[in-house]
Amino acid sequence: MQPHHDYDLIVAGAGMVGMSTALWAQSEGLRVVVCDPNPAGSGTTSGSACVIATYACNPVNSPSIIKSLPTLLTSPDSPLSFNLMHGLKNPAWMLSFLNNCRPTRVDHIANALAGLLAHTNDGLNPLIALADAQDLIIENDCLYVWSTASGHAASLPSEARRASLGVQSEDLSPSDIQSLEPNIRLPLHRGLRFKGARHIASPQELVSRMHRKFTVLGGTTLPQTILSSIADADGVTAQLSDNTPIRASRLVVAAGARSRDIKGSGAEKLPLGTERGYHILYENHRNLLSRPVGWAEAGFYATPMADGLRVAGTVEINATDAPFNQKRTAYLTRKSHDMFGDLGAPDSEWLGHRPTMPDSLPVIGHSNKSDRIIMAFGHQHIGLTLGGITGKIATDLAQGRKPSCDITAFSADRF
Ligand SMILES: Cc1cc2nc3c(=O)[nH]c(=O)nc-3n(C[C@H](O)[C@H](O)[C@H](O)COP(=O)(O)OP(=O)(O)OC[C@H]3O[C@@H](n4cnc5c(N)ncnc54)[C@H](O)[C@@H]3O)c2cc1C
């Protein structure tokens, strides 16, 4: 059967990464088709903690994880949870993750992430303007707080690394924190204020406005899953779930934690895993905070956003398709009551899948299979932040240009 359409670029996935790519490519005159069976921005992007976290260069990988692993894994009060059966079935990912907790690896990862994060605004701000979404962007900094001296002491090496990589922050005493956010009821030890950090009132609304603009400017959307792709000398053919093939000069794989499902793209050969994360929402408590606050020991952010107060974070290492784990949202509920007093039961709860490589670096670059296929996934905890710049880089690659920033560390060849 002959392909029924011709495009310059097929984008697989309409999350923050895919829609950013689509809009950047379209703004350069490329004929773009986006394929996604779900509404734009409704995947992992929708449930995130909403922070444009330009300071978030420290990966989850850390030498301290290895030391504290037994406590982290067995305590019901731990921000990290790990399913043993899943670990036994996927030893390669786990071992590679632990290998990337060595100090030299962590330095490399943080350095590479800081380099990319420095370009966040170049990638994101033009898209916010294009999508007419300035009203969704809140410029009021972001705080980290530590409730214990030991938690704060343990963070000093990684905070020193963050500072050495050029991230600006202001040290806060308990009374500084109280005057900025008087509704926090934790015993406070220290805090950090990341000046210039922004957050998004609704990540899904942002991506959905990007999609609306894309459509108005003539972009095509097909509500289909891409099952497989084959590249040849002239282009790429993608097989859709309705059994039709589409053809374009190039394909960008931006299907988040599901990117490996696209057979033949090269993504299926890469060790993409998932860090499952949860959020709970208190619709009527948005006014408790004026900016996102990350409680470091508890592993989550509380963020005042359009729908209410969202308490989002934690890491659960388990299969993508494993059932919703109520223990994780019970943890968030308990801890949010510690943080703010009795908030009652949350109005809703959510599970999402961070796309995570064992070295916490995204894959951005040509596929090992063909230069016609471009990988753009694996943004772990910071895909909302890095989606815009990733889309800009993917467009550079689709146009045959050298990207505006160094992407060597993100190459698919590193595995
Ligand atoms: C609890 C939590 C809090 C977070 N907080 C933040 C934060 O504050 N700041 C931040 O920067 N990041 C945050 N993140 C991370 C961020 O949400 C992700 O890195 C980011 O959303 C990934 O975007 P994506 O476009 O790659 O994936 P997604 O948003 O998941 O989009 C992928 C899309 O691909 C589609 N798809 C899947 N398979 C196919 C296929 N075969 N064909 C076509 N389409 C397909 C899906 O339907 C989906 O729409 C958080 C994550 C979690 C879980």
What mean pLDDT is reported for the chain?
Answer: 96
- Angstrom distance (rounded) from CA 201 to CA 403: 30
Host H or E run for residue 82: strand 80-82
**Residue 180 Cα, ligand 1 centroid: separation in angstroms?**
31
The atom number, within ligand 1, closest to the CA of 383 reads: 19
292 and 382 in one domain? no
Q: Which of 310, 327, 356 is the last residue of a domain?
A: 356
- Angstrom distance (rounded) from CA 31 to CA 217: 10
Please give the average per-residue pLDDT across 373-382, as a whole number.
98
The full DSSP string for 259-312 is: GGGSBTSSGGGS--EEEEEEEEEETT-GGG-SS-EEETTTTEEEEEETTEEEEE
- Angstrom distance (rounded) from CA 314 to CA 81: 8
Query: What CATH number should be reported for the domain holding residue 233?
Result: 3.50.50.60
The atom number, within ligand 1, closest to the CA of 225 reads: 42
321 and 282 in one domain? yes
Q: Would you say the CB of residue 379 lies under 6 angstroms from ligand 1? A: yes
236 and 153 in one domain? no
- Angstrom distance (rounded) from CA 138 to CA 387: 18
pLDDT for residue 327 is more than 50: yes
Q: Which residues are 373's β-sheet partners? A: 251
Q: Would you say the CB of residue 262 lies under 6 angstroms from ligand 1? A: yes
Please give the average per-residue pLDDT across 261-276, as a whole number.
97
346 and 293 in one domain? yes
Q: Would you say the CB of residue 16 lies under 6 angstroms from ligand 1? A: yes
Nearest Cα residue to atom 48 of ligand 1: 43
Rounded to 10 deg, the angle between the 203-216 and 16-27 helix axes is: 30
185 and 87 in one domain? yes
Q: Which of 24, 44, 224 to mutate to test the pocket of ligand 1 (most atoms within 8 A of CB)?
A: 44
Domain assignment present for residue 162? The answer is yes
Domain assignment present for residue 371? The answer is yes
- Angstrom distance (rounded) from CA 260 to CA 12: 11
**Residue 153 Cα, ligand 1 centroid: separation in angstroms?**
32
Domain assignment present for residue 109? The answer is no
Nearest Cα residue to atom 21 of ligand 1: 45
Domain count, the chain: 2
**Residue 42 Cα, ligand 1 centroid: separation in angstroms?**
8
Tokens representing 252 are 């960008």
255 and 187 in one domain? no
Q: Per residue in 202-254, pLDDT tens?
A: 999 999 999 999 999 999 999 999 999 999 999 999 999 999 999 999 999 99
Residues in CB range of 132: below 8 A, 6 or more apart: 209, 213
Q: Would you say the CB of residue 382 lies under 6 angstroms from ligand 1? A: yes
403 and 304 in one domain? no
- Angstrom distance (rounded) from CA 42 to CA 185: 33
The full DSSP string for 227-250 is: EEEEE-SS-EEEEETTS-EEEEEE
Nearest Cα residue to atom 15 of ligand 1: 381
pLDDT of residue 2: 44
Query: What CATH number should be reported for the domain holding residue 300?
Result: 3.30.9.10
304 and 189 in one domain? yes
Whole-model pTM: value is 0.97
- Angstrom distance (rounded) from CA 352 to CA 278: 6
Sort strands 220-222 and 32-35 into parallel, antiparallel or unpaired. Answer: parallel
Please give the average per-residue pLDDT across 328-353, as a whole number.
98
**Residue 15 Cα, ligand 1 centroid: separation in angstroms?**
6
Q: Would you say the CB of residue 219 lies under 6 angstroms from ligand 1? A: no
Domain assignment present for residue 290? The answer is yes
The atom number, within ligand 1, closest to the CA of 37 reads: 47
Q: How far is CA 262 from CA 218, 259, 284, 350, in A?
A: 26, 6, 41, 25
pLDDT for residue 21 is more than 70: yes
5 pLDDT tier (thresholds 50, 70, 90)? low
In terms of residue numbers, what domain contains 369?
6-46+205-269+360-414
364 and 341 in one domain? no
Q: Which of 45, 136, 207 to mutate to test the pocket of ligand 1 (most atoms within 8 A of CB)?
A: 45
The dihedral of CA 284, 288, 289, 295: what is its sign?
negative
Domain assignment present for residue 173? The answer is yes
Domain assignment present for residue 122? The answer is no
pLDDT for residue 57 is more than 60: yes
Nearest Cα residue to atom 50 of ligand 1: 48
Domain assignment present for residue 215? The answer is yes
392 and 322 in one domain? no
Q: Would you say the CB of residue 53 lies under 6 angstroms from ligand 1? A: yes
106 pLDDT tier (thresholds 50, 70, 90)? very high
285 and 167 in one domain? yes
Decide: helix, strand or coil at residue 255.
coil
Residue ranges of alpha helices (H) inside 306-409 are 326-340, 383-398
Q: Per residue in 275-285, pLDDT tens?
A: 999 999 999 99
Domain assignment present for residue 93? The answer is yes
Please give the average per-residue pLDDT across 7-26, as a whole number.
98
334 and 300 in one domain? yes
Nearest Cα residue to atom 3 of ligand 1: 48
Contact 376, 252 (CB under 8 A): yes
Q: Would you say the CB of residue 181 lies under 6 angstroms from ligand 1? A: no
Of 93, 96, 332, residue with least CA distance to 83: 93
